[in-house]
Amino acid sequence: MSSFLISSVSPEGSDPVDLLIADGTIVAAGAPGSVAAPAGATVVDATGLIALPGLVDMHTHLRQPGHEDAETVETGTRAAAKGGYTAVCAMANSNPVADTAGVVEQVWQLGRDAGWADVHPVGAVTVGLEGKQLSEIRAMAESRARVRMFSDDGKCVHDPVLMRRALEYVKSFDGLVAQHAQEPRLTEGAQMNEGVVSAELGLTGWPAVAEEAIIARDVLLTRHVNSRLHICHLSTKGSVEIVRWAKERGINVTAEVTPHHLLLTEELVRTFDPVYKVNPPLRTNEDVMALRAAVVDGTVDVIGTDHAPHTLEDKESEWSCAAMGMTGLETALSVVQKTLVDTGMIDWATVAKIASRRPSEILGLPDQGGALEAGAAANITLWDPAGETPVNPQTHVSKGRNSPYRGMPLPGRVSATFYRGHPVVLDGQLTTPLPA
Amino acid sequence: MNVPEHGEALPATTSRVILSTADIDRALTRIAHEILESNKGTDDLIILGIARRGYPLAQRLAAKLEQTDESFDARSATGQLDITMYRDDLRRNPARTPQPTIIPDSGIDGRTVVLVDDVLFSGRTIRAALDALVDVGRPRIVRLAVLVDRGHRELPIRADHVGKNLPTSSQEKVRVLLRESDPGQREENHEDCVVIDAPVASDPDVARPGKAATS
Amino acid sequence: MKHLLATADLSYADALSILDTADQMASVSSRSVKKLPALRGRTVVNLFFEDSTRTRISFETAAKRLSADVINFSAKGSSVSKGESLKDTAQTLMAMSADAVVIRHGASGAPQQLASSGWIDAAVVNAGDGKHEHPTQALLDAMTLRRVRARREDRPSTGMDLAGMHVVIVGDVLHSRVARSNVWLLHTLGARVTFVAPPTLLPVGMDQWPCEVSYDLDEVLAQRPDAVMMLRLQSERMNAAFFPSEQEYTRAWGLTPERVAALDATDAPTVIMHPGPMNRGLEISSEAADSPRSTVLAQVANGVSVRMAVLFLLLSGDESSPSLTDN
């Protein structure tokens, strides 16, 4: 395998170093000019670039099997690589649902074959995401996919007894349950955040309390059975307060926020453009500010994209008929820079933590989220924080064109992504997948 | 000279008063006499002003007719015709809010209707007015009285009674200002007036009011 | 004004212009020749994704009195659950060279999407979208109120607004596009609005609306408002636990014979309005609906005039270029 010398790169925003990569590993790191490149090594001039551990997304919809018109493992992981991700968790709401060892192994194998990023399938908590019967969780955990995180994402595990059993059951292999917190009765027919804007537009409201009530219940259940809970896409100020309360009491809960909930608000719904329709819905500016603060104080652990590609026809319709979800893999780091770094709220070391290191810890991934030093796996993202480009979804490599940032200038770009020592992205362009 | 505008000011124009308050009054008096003469009195006479400036002119004409012939009741024989809905350029010109159409209680069937307007130009307004009239009733005779005829007809229409023939260039704009429809400060003798706005031309042979546009 | 989508973004000047034009349209309806040539050669499409015979007929009458050609396109029952058909339908209409599309749709925002999608070039008139807006209903209500005031004050309605009038709107505000369109327009025209409803039928997040809220109909009626507008109670709400029973609803929030008698006893000026169709015996009693205070039939007649005015104003000057040839 070839070797690469990344010269004068700033690891997580600190003083520049040279990094030498060979055989999928960082073999040397040192002050610029101090690392000798072996014969045949490719030198990547990374002056002005920031090196981050390859990003890890705990929340991706790759749509395969069953919805290959919207995305495939191949196109979704290309998008991941383009966005600086070296590992993604594929949510279980495919068709068939990822509720058996067979389906999770298939997705895992598709990821291996594609070679753009690690794919970790998420197992469904209940059979068919129907919230009635636990799926074969242990079989998925023991499969080649080694599933550790289970979620009915898209639907809430709303039956408290089932949720309790799931939390108890995953303890046997140190797994965790990722909850999509949405009380179903309070959100029947819900179309957008319930509040000032829904009142004016006459769209059925999705009240914050429907999220917060489930989170409150689940952190208490988690304490009661002493298990591990992860909250997907936290979206309200009240949710932040409950998670903070739980963490103060030592409850083993982690929380995720999406880039779009850090930037966009419900005001966009006034356009009735379904590109802004997402679940949980865009909330108020007050919620956005509370979520940013929660990242700063550690209440929120990770950034998860909730990348949800849809076909044009699923989005090009009346608001109430349109599918929920937005793409995110190729814009996530730009939004994080815009909302958290450029605002002075966090530094690049914290970006490395929330976008790579903490997700790896939560999922127990040994080769991801490591330090940028000799001996670590060479999963590295080179980020150019300079400049601003208006987002053009037509240029995205994801099949989904439903980016809510269409036309919006966003800062920074991925210059290179090294996946297990192989540059899947170089000079901002996809190259070749990791050779088998 | 202080000539107030209605509507927005045109760029680089010169304005000239063509008819003063007294000129307008004399013209209306003469028209009133012509109407009496051609109608052989005031029997069955209805005076319909075309909204907006035709209406005050119609009221003034009717008042003069009443002065001459006491059997003529100006109030009950005067009305207003709004032609907005009958225009042939509705697609191109944003509509103004229509004015009320006021038809005398007696109706217009079998009567002699004198349509009154301020300026006769292309003739399209009168064409629309004739259509509007058909939807209101069936007069025996329709005549047309205008304060100013500025030429440039686009339809085979002519006025029966004209206050003043005013040869103009098509670049010029003729404005009629009446105290009823165009309130605002004006100099003495110009409470009512007719004004010509001419573009300031680099070529002195072009667009001289009352002179050049007869070619 | 290129489209009429909502009263929330209708300016005072535009609202008055529509109402003043509607006054003139109303006079046409009393002539023997009830037709104007203004929209001759233009095509108006009534695109109804929801049944509403009344609204459709009102728009159809309005368009025909202006000499427009009318195409009724009922899309109900076709595959509208998958929204693609809105786009396909729009493009079909485009191919038929529609000049205006009057759209009624169960989804809030569908008219705005149609207007801003680029699928279609025609003027879009919202004839009711989901729980969002029903602007021509609010305009006909305003026209009715203006005429009530003109008669009371013995002056012409043209040019008049509703400053100082007190309008009480009673019932299912939560699900009502009529209530939403009315609150914005009445506020724009200067009226004071009071909503009266059970708390379950008021939307969360309406605190910033320009209105007062009460749960007590008798107390509000005792203020001798200029008008009380009863909203229709949709039958599907009755089983959804918004209130315990129809009887309780009627007792607390219905316009009962007793409440009409109370208005009569104080000689209150209050007129009784209803957008129709009425649920007699539920939100409104027959005594109220048929009382001399009722403006229900005037509202229907004014509906045609207002819709004529809207179609006329949207379709005149739509190819506008400056012209000085106006004599």
Residue C297 is encoded by which pair of tokens?
A: 């039939």
Beta strand C192-196 with A50-53 is unpaired
pLDDT of residue A417: 98
Q: Any idea which residue has 């040019």 for tokens?
A: C159
Residue C271 is encoded by which pair of tokens?
A: 């007129």
Residues 62-101 of C with CB under 8 A from A: 80-84, 86-87
pLDDT of residue B214: 36
∠ CA(A16), CA(A17), CA(A22), 5° rounding? 145
Q: Any idea which residue has 């009887």 for tokens?
A: C247
What pLDDT, in 10s, does the model give residues A74-111?
999 999 999 999 999 999 999 999 999 999 999 999 99
Which neighbouring-strand residues pair with C273? C229
Residue pair B36/B69 in contact (Cβ under 8 Å)? The answer is: yes
Which neighbouring-strand residues pair with C213? C195
**Strand, helix or coil at C86?**
helix
Kindly identify which residue of chain B lies nearest to residue C67, measuring between CA atoms.
Answer: B85
Cβ neighbours of A272 in C, within 8 Å: 108-110, 112-113
For residue A160, the surrounding DSSP H or E stretch is helix A160-169
Q: Which of C27, C35, C313 sits opposite B95 (nearest CB)?
A: C313
- Chain A nearest CA to C86, separation (Å): 7
Q: What are the phi and psi torsion angles at A227 (to 5°)? A: -120, -160
CA-CA distance, A317 to A324, in Å (whole number)?
12
Q: Any idea which residue has 């005779």 for tokens?
A: B141
pLDDT of residue B7: 47
Residue pair A179/A166 in contact (Cβ under 8 Å)? The answer is: no
Catalytic residue among A287, A306, A342, A427: A306
Residue A3 is encoded by which pair of tokens?
A: 């070797």
- Which chains have 3+ CB pairs within 8 A of A? C
User: What one-character DSSP code corresponds to residue B124?
Assistant: H
Task: Give the dihedral sign, CA C11/C16/C17/C19.
Answer: positive
Q: Any idea which residue has 């006479």 for tokens?
A: B45
Concatenated DSSP letters of C230-296: EPP--GGGTTTTSSS-HHHHHHHHSB-HHHHHHHHHTT---EEE--S---BTTTB-HHHHTSTTB-H
pLDDT of residue C66: 96
Q: C113, A195: Cβ pair inside 8 Å? A: no
Cβ neighbours of B120 in C, within 8 Å: 327
The interface predicted TM-score of the complex, written ipTM, equals: 0.91
Tell me how far apart the 2 most distant CA atoms of chain B are, in Å: 56
Determine how many CB atoms are found less than 10 A away from the CB of residue C241: 8
Residue A102 is encoded by which pair of tokens?
A: 């067979």
Cβ neighbours of C20 in B, within 8 Å: 97-98
Cβ neighbours of A204 in C, within 8 Å: 131
Residue C317 is encoded by which pair of tokens?
A: 């000057």
**Strand, helix or coil at B177?**
strand
Ranges under pLDDT 50 in chain A: none
* pLDDT tens, chain C, 327 aa long: 899 999 999 999 999 999 999 999 999 888 888 899 999 999 999 999 988 899 999 999 999 999 999 999 887 655 444 545 788 888 888 888 899 999 999 999 999 999 998 888 899 999 999 999 999 999 999 999 999 999 999 999 999 999 999 999 999 999 999 999 999 999 999 999 999 999 999 999 999 999 999 999 999 999 999 999 999 998 777 777 899 999 999 999 999 999 999 999 999 999 999 999 999 999 999 999 999 999 999 999 999 999 999 999 999 876 654 433 444
% of residues, chain A, pLDDT over 90: 96
Cβ neighbours of A203 in C, within 8 Å: 108-109, 130-132
Q: Please tell me the total number of residues recorded for chain C in this structure.
A: 327
Cβ neighbours of A271 in C, within 8 Å: 112, 116
CA-CA distance, B92 to B95, in Å (whole number)?
9
Residues 182-211 of B with CB under 8 A from C: none
Encoded amino acid at A192, one letter: M
Ranges under pLDDT 50 in chain B: 1-4, 7-10, 203-215
CA-CA distance, C250 to C235, in Å (whole number)?
14
pLDDT of residue B180: 92
Cβ neighbours of C325 in B, within 8 Å: 89, 121-122, 124
Q: Which of C81, C113, C116 to mutate to test the interface with A (most CBs of A within 10 A)?
A: C113
Number of B/C CB contacts below 8 angstroms equals 79
CA A54 to chain centre: 12
Q: C205, A205: Cβ pair inside 8 Å? A: yes
CA-CA distance, A312 to C248, in Å (whole number)?
48
CA-CA distance, A234 to A239, in Å (whole number)?
6
Residue pair A347/A50 in contact (Cβ under 8 Å)? The answer is: no
Q: B94, C319: Cβ pair inside 8 Å? A: no
Kindly identify which residue of chain A lies nearest to residue C176, measuring between CA atoms.
Answer: A202
**Strand, helix or coil at A71?**
coil
Q: Which of A203, A272, A320 to mutate to test the interface with C (most CBs of C within 10 A)?
A: A272
- Chain B nearest CA to C70, separation (Å): 18
Q: C324, B97: Cβ pair inside 8 Å? A: no
Domains of chain A: 4-51+374-387+408-430 (2.30.40.10), 53-363 (3.20.20.140)
pLDDT of residue B187: 80
Q: Any idea which residue has 């209530």 for tokens?
A: C179
Q: C113, A200: Cβ pair inside 8 Å? A: no
Residue C255 is encoded by which pair of tokens?
A: 């316009």
pLDDT of residue B6: 52
Encoded amino acid at A96, one letter: P
Question: CA nearest A250: which of A217, A224, A223, A215?
Answer: A223
Cβ neighbours of C23 in B, within 8 Å: 100
Encoded amino acid at B63, one letter: A
Q: Which of C18, C316, C324 to mutate to test the interface with B (most CBs of B within 10 A)?
A: C316
Question: CA nearest C171: which of C256, C287, C252, C253?
Answer: C253
What pLDDT, in 10s, does the model give residues A109-129?
999 999 999 999 999 999 999
Residue A411 is encoded by which pair of tokens?
A: 């800062």
Q: Which of B92, B131, B135 sits opposite C323 (nearest CB)?
A: B92
User: For the CA atoms of B198, B199, B200, B204, what is the dihedral angle to 10 degrees?
Assistant: -70
Helix axis angle for A208-225 and A237-248, nearest 10°, is 10
Which neighbouring-strand residues pair with A205? A192
Q: Which of A204, A205, A272 sits opposite C112 (nearest CB)?
A: A272
Count each helix (H run) and each strand (E run) in chain B, helices first: 3, 8
Beta strand A17-22 with A25-30 is antiparallel
Beta strand B13-19 with B193-199 is antiparallel
pLDDT of residue C204: 96
- Which chains have 3+ CB pairs within 8 A of B? C
User: What one-character DSSP code corresponds to residue A377?
Assistant: B
Determine how many CB atoms are found less than 10 A away from the CB of residue A112: 15
CA B21 to chain centre: 15
* Residue C163 CB burial class (10 angstroms; 0-12, 13-18, ≥19): exposed
Which neighbouring-strand residues pair with A176? A149
CA-CA distance, B110 to C50, in Å (whole number)?
50
What pLDDT, in 10s, does the model give residues C252-276?
999 999 999 999 999 999 999 999 9
Q: C84, A316: Cβ pair inside 8 Å? A: yes
CA-CA distance, C307 to C138, in Å (whole number)?
11
User: For the CA atoms of B84, B88, B90, B93, what is the dihedral angle to 10 degrees?
Assistant: -100
Residue C172 is encoded by which pair of tokens?
A: 């299912």
Q: Which of C27, C155, C327 to mutate to test the interface with B (most CBs of B within 10 A)?
A: C327
Q: Which residues contact B75 (CB under 8 A, 6 or more apart)?
A: B62
**A306 catalytically annotated:** yes
- Chain A nearest CA to C78, separation (Å): 14
CA-CA distance, B25 to A189, in Å (whole number)?
73
**Beta strand segments in C5-85, E:** 43-48, 69-74
Q: B150, C327: Cβ pair inside 8 Å? A: yes
CA-CA distance, B152 to B169, in Å (whole number)?
9
Q: C203, A322: Cβ pair inside 8 Å? A: no
Cβ neighbours of A283 in C, within 8 Å: none
Encoded amino acid at B96, one letter: R
- Chain C nearest CA to A424, separation (Å): 37
**Strand, helix or coil at A336?**
helix
